[in-house]
Structure 1
Amino acid sequence: MDLAFLHPLYEQPGPWASVYVDTSRHTESTPHERHLTAQALSQELAGQGADEATCQAVRSAVEELRHSSEPHGRALFARGGEVVLDPPLAERPAGGSSARWAPLPRTTPLLELAGEDPVCLVAYIDRRGADFELRGALGREDAGSVTGRQWPIHRTRSVDWSERHFQLAVENTWEHNAGEVAEALAACREETGADLVVLVGDDRERRSVHERLPQGVRERTVEASHGPGSRLLDEDVERIRAEHVRHRAEEDLERFLAARAPDAEGRALAVEGVPAVIEAAREHRIDELLVRPDGADAHQEVWIGEDADQVAVRRTELKTLGEQHSWAARADDALVRAAVATGAPALSVAPADATVRSDAPVGGLGALLRWK
């Protein structure tokens, strides 16, 4: 997951209120239930030491969700009487609504609950060209079209010489149009920044376009076996998007497992465990952070300073580094802060996705490394 959207949470000092609101239940009594939830979450924060202004800001933000039809939930991060960030969730919070007051925002659950949100560029292909549309969690929108040569398009069944010449012209038209669709599709994907390309149409047309896509686009392209004129249903798109996210997670985990062995220069390209990952964070060498939510190390207490790279297993280490102020924090949240500061993505390695090794990374925290 790209963590850039979390930057506002680390531009101001803590402590922070981190609230996860479950909005998956929708009945006639939902507005009243959410009113009670707003009060309960505010009281929970107050009991943990949050200031009244921040408790009020959270209470008001949850109250505003009384009539929300969001299917899963919302995260709220607040300090100093202001909600700074409120991303929607792609999954409901497993334990229901919750609130936490701590030196760092509790952002690690977002790796699972906010999830990846790949945007699909769908190409509906026929022999004349293609229509494009963007499909994502929020619906669909038209993304243009491309039209190739219009004649000749259809074959005949005759076998005389002139007709065989005509058949060749038809073949040439198909191939030309496939090339035009591939070129336009690659340009549209670059312009829109779509994560995934989906080809829809007859087998031959899909395959012809697929083969002509640039290598970088081809690697992010899948084919959907729908007939001419058919459109992908929302459930088709959700399945394709989910498979894409799962495949990417498995690839990253495989890469991590392979990178743990030292390279030709004797350097490890991946580390795991709190001490090793924290050392990588201090040296700005995390290329991708891996978190296994059920890992024992994820909630281990570490010590942090004011800056993202001021993190240590023991408080005395920070003093040795010259940091005068320090606070206790969860290891996973401290490492997410460090990843955000250096532009590194993060991946939640849930047991269901870790088909290769359900216990990796050991302890629940690992990192792929970058070397200067």
Structure 2
Amino acid sequence: MDLAFLHPLYEHPGPWASVYVDTSRHAEDTPHELRLTAQAMARELSGQGADEATSRAVESAIEDLRHSPDPHGRALFARAGKVVLDPCLARRPPGGSRAVWAPLPRMAPLLDLAGEDPVAIVAYVDRRGADFELRRAPARQRAGAVVRQQWPLRRTSSLDWSERHFQLKVENAWEHNAAEIADALSVSQDEAAADLLVLVGDERERREVRGRLPKRLQDRVAEAAHGAGSRLLDEDVERIRAAHVRRRVEAGLDRFRAARAPDAEGRTGAAEGLPALVAAAREHRIEELLVRPEGPDLHREVWIGEDPDQLAVRRTELRILGEQHSWAARADDALIRSAAAADATALSTAPVTAATEEDVPAGGLGAVLRWR
């Protein structure tokens, strides 16, 4: 996950309200259910010490979701009576809605619930042209179309053409259209920064378009087994998106495992264990933070100051570093704040089940470093 969108959260001091709202249930009484959820989350925050203005802001924001309920859920991050960030979720929060009042925004769950949400362009291809659809949780939208070249693409009753002339004309027209579709699909990928291109249509038509896409896009292309109108097409697309997520996570774990290997001078390009991670965060050396959701180190206590690089395993360390004010915070949230400030990325390893404990960061937190 690119953490740049989190910068507004770290421009202001805490404490913060972090609320994960489950909106996956859709029924006639959904507005009423959301109102009850809003009230419950406000009470929960107040019980944890949140100020009244922030509790009211969260309650109002949840009630407003009744006008456009998300398929899965919404995360809300608020302070000082204002909701600062409210990203949609790609998956429903496990265990239902929950709220936390803490010195830092409760960000780690967002890596699982919204972090790996690949953008896919689904291209419905046939000999008449193509329609493009942009898909990402929780929505889909039309993303353009290519209209066929205007001459016959099927055999006609014309007596002016020989059979061979007609067939060549048809093939030339289709080759032209396949090239036009590939060009338009390439442009759409650039504009949407799409992770995946999913081709839907007859096998030959998919093959013709795929063969005309630039080499740089070939590893992004997948083909759906079912055609437009099939009730199984949506399942195809979701399987393709899920497989893409698993490959990305596996690649991240491969980078981490490779970085563990020491160089000729005994230095490694990876860090794991809280002391090593905290030291790397203070030096802005984290390139990618890896988080295993069930890891025991995630909820361990560290100490933070006002700035993202002011963190320590022990409170006395911050005082030695010259920080006069400090607060206890969860390790995962403190490291995510530091990673975001250093323009690093973060990755949840949840989509991949490791074969052994050695395959994942010890304690559930690890990092690939910018230099050894």
| Fold agreement, TM-score > 0.5 | yes
- Whole-Å separation in 2 of the counterparts to 1:262 and 1:148: 59
1:285-324 superposed matches below 5 A: 285-324=285-324
Tell me the equivalent position of 2:352: 353
Q: 1:299 is paired with a residue of what secondary structure?
A: coil
Q: TM-score, normalised by structure 1?
A: 0.85
Q: 2:108 is paired with a residue of what secondary structure?
A: coil
1:1-372 superposed matches below 5 A: 1-27=1-27, 29-65=29-65, 69-127=69-127, 129-137=129-137, 138-145=139-146, 147=148, 175=175, 177-226=177-226, 233-263=233-263, 266-350=266-350, 352-357=351-356, 360-371=360-371
CA distance 1:121–1:50, shift in 2 (3 Å): same
Aligned sequence identity (%): 69
One-letter amino acid of the structure 1 residue matched with residue 352 of structure 2 = D
Segment of structure 1 superposing worse, 298-307 or 314-323:
314-323
Tell me the equivalent position of 2:158: none
Does the CA-based 8 Å contact 1:253-1:354 persist in structure 2? no
Deviation at 1:22, TM superposition (A): 2.2
One-letter amino acid of the structure 1 residue matched with residue 221 of structure 2 = T
Deviation at 1:166, TM superposition (A): 8.1
CA distance 1:174–1:34, shift in 2 (3 Å): closer
Question: Could you give the per-residue CA deviations for residues 183-231 of structure 1, whole angstroms, max 9, x where no partner exists?
Answer: 3322221123222111222323322332332232111111123459989
- Whole-Å separation in 1 of the counterparts to 2:35 and 2:169: 69
- Whole-Å separation in 2 of the counterparts to 1:97 and 1:303: 28
Q: 2:17 is paired with a residue of what secondary structure?
A: strand
- Whole-Å separation in 1 of the counterparts to 2:57 and 2:128: 56
One-letter amino acid of the structure 2 residue matched with residue 49 of structure 1 = G
Question: Could you give the per-residue CA deviations for residues 103-156 of structure 1, whole angstroms, max 9, x where no partner exists?
Answer: 1011111111224332222223345654333233312204131646957888xx
Segment of structure 1 superposing worse, 117-126 or 171-180:
171-180
Unaligned runs of 5+ in 2: 156-161
Deviation at 1:82, TM superposition (A): 1.2
- Whole-Å separation in 1 of the counterparts to 2:326 and 2:39: 32
One-letter amino acid of the structure 1 residue matched with residue 92 of structure 2 = R
Between the two proteins, the alignment pairs up a number of residues equal to 364
Segment of structure 1 superposing worse, 30-39 or 108-117:
30-39
Does the CA-based 8 Å contact 1:283-1:309 persist in structure 2? yes
Does the CA-based 8 Å contact 1:34-1:63 persist in structure 2? yes
- Whole-Å separation in 1 of the counterparts to 2:209 and 2:35: 53
Question: Could you give the per-residue CA deviations for residues 10-32 of structure 1, whole angstroms, max 9, x where no partner exists?
Answer: 11101111122222334555444
Deviation at 1:169, TM superposition (A): 7.5
Deviation at 1:281, TM superposition (A): 1.2
CA distance 1:144–1:356, shift in 2 (3 Å): farther
One-letter amino acid of the structure 2 residue matched with residue 73 of structure 1 = G
CA distance 1:181–1:265, shift in 2 (3 Å): farther
One-letter amino acid of the structure 2 residue matched with residue 325 of structure 1 = H
Does the CA-based 8 Å contact 1:56-1:81 persist in structure 2? yes
CA distance 1:173–1:34, shift in 2 (3 Å): closer
Unaligned runs of 5+ in 1: 155-161
Segment of structure 1 superposing worse, 43-52 or 222-231:
222-231
- Whole-Å separation in 2 of the counterparts to 1:19 and 1:279: 30
CA distance 1:33–1:371, shift in 2 (3 Å): same
One-letter amino acid of the structure 1 residue matched with residue 142 of structure 2 = E
- Whole-Å separation in 2 of the counterparts to 1:192 and 1:105: 29
Deviation at 1:278, TM superposition (A): 1.6
CA distance 1:44–1:202, shift in 2 (3 Å): closer
Does the CA-based 8 Å contact 1:254-1:356 persist in structure 2? no
CA distance 1:47–1:316, shift in 2 (3 Å): same
Q: TM-score, normalised by structure 2?
A: 0.85
Deviation at 1:301, TM superposition (A): 0.5
One-letter amino acid of the structure 1 residue matched with residue 96 of structure 2 = G
Deviation at 1:308, TM superposition (A): 0.9
- Whole-Å separation in 1 of the counterparts to 2:265 and 2:173: 54
